[in-house]
Amino acid sequence: MGLQCGIVGLPNVGKSTLFSAISSARAEAANYPFCTIEPNVGIVSVPDERLQILEEIVKPNRVLPTIIEFVDIAGLVKGASQGAGLGNKFLATIREVDAIIHVVRCFADDNIVHVEGRVDPVADKEIIDYELQLKDLESVDKKLARTEKAAKMSGDAKARQEVEVLYRVKTALEQGKGARTANIDATELGAVADLHLLTIKPVVYVANVDEASIQAGGNAYVEQLRKAVAEENAGVIVICAAIEAQIAEIEDPEERQIFLDEYGLKESGLSQLIGASYSLLNLITYFTAGVQEVRAWTIQRGWKAPQAAGVIHSDFEKGFIRAEVIKLPDYQQYRSEPAIKDAGKMGVEGKEYVVQDGDIMHFRFNV
């Protein structure tokens, strides 16, 4: 399953600079709103040192990491939910992504204009939140009118439940909160699934700081942002988009690490974003390994073996017989599948096996 994250924020907060730094694409970065009119999509390989370990042992013809898509969406402004600044087009694009990366300006620079004429990360966040909430409220109100009428006419229990869920979401939105705060459980998601609500999506906040602040681990603006989102189920990471742009130009891994060390960084902004996105979306990775290819596959944590097999091909899930499972430490110790089998370290699992992060799997199926 491919993961797609939409990068949003006000104009001139560093969205396009960040996008250009973390993806193979290059968005136009200019010092005025709407320089990025069409959404830019960058496809990035997810770094995973376990792939390197398997490659060294198996020596396959090719190695295929899993991927993540970043969509750079032009800056939203006040009134976007009503179409201001091409807002309707941009908001429609956000509906398609799995998670939102909200870039917030946490640096002062007189040479880079702010669309609101000041630097205030909390106010910036609230502008975006408000526009997304208004758009969601519009969608909920429309469906609620239809569903409430149908429930009264038919008395259908499912329709009544949908009405209850929709009212719960409506209340949250009217209180200035996101739909994700309405405590919708898995059995109730169907009531709003067709609406593709913007504020139900997981959010990672990116505090974009200057070079001095990245070395200091943050600044007063970052602390304001952390405090403002403390009660949200959201990640907050601190990066310097300008530094990320420099990191992206360094091809040699050793030189890149030296550069990171100079700024006291353990990992790049890209790695932080991917880690935060996987954590928020509750995703894990399993592997297939053979002479032809070693490959990483992304699935939801808690999926059972047939579901995991289905991401390779639907026939694998339909005709699932069993899964042969190897743990990475055993692969590292015994170095080959025959040796792993002889040592009794290859698990043979059925349909109820819950796949674990890092499992190396072979699926047996018959269609």
In tens digits, what is the pLDDT along the chain, a chain of 367 residues? 578 999 988 888 888 889 888 875 445 554 444 444 455 788 888 889 999 999 999 999 999 999 888 888 766 656 645 554 444 566 677 888 999 999 999 999 888 877 777 899 999 999 989 988 998 999 999 999 999 998 988 888 888 999 999 999 999 999 999 998 898 998 899 999 999 999 999 999 999 999 999 989 899 999 999 999 998 878 899 999 999 999 888 888 899 999 999 999 989 998 899 999 999 899 999 999 999 999 999 999 999 999 999 999 999 999 999 999 999 999 999 999 999 999 999 999 999 999 999 999 999 999 8
pLDDT (0 to 100) of residue 25: 47
Per-residue tokens: 255: 């030189």
* Complete DSSP assignment for 284-332: EEEEEE-SSEEEEEEEETT-BHHHHHHTT-HHHHHTEEEEEEE-HHHHH
- Residue 89 host element (H or E): helix 87-94
pLDDT (0 to 100) of residue 3: 87
pLDDT (0 to 100) of residue 24: 53
Q: What does residue 156 show for φ and ψ, rounded to 5 degrees?
A: -65, 130
Q: pTM of the entire structure?
A: 0.86
pLDDT (0 to 100) of residue 16: 85
Map 171-203 to HEC letters.
Answer: HHHHCCCCHHHHCCCCCCHHHCHHHCCCCCCCE
Bridge partners (DSSP) listed for residue 7: 72, 101
Per-residue tokens: 220: 């007063």
pLDDT (0 to 100) of residue 367: 83
The amino acid that residue 349 corresponds to is E
Question: Among 205, 201, 48, which Cα is nearest to 125's?
Answer: 205
- Per the listing, tokens 């209180």 go with 175
Q: Are 131 and 78 in contact (CB under 8 A)?
A: yes
pLDDT (0 to 100) of residue 270: 86
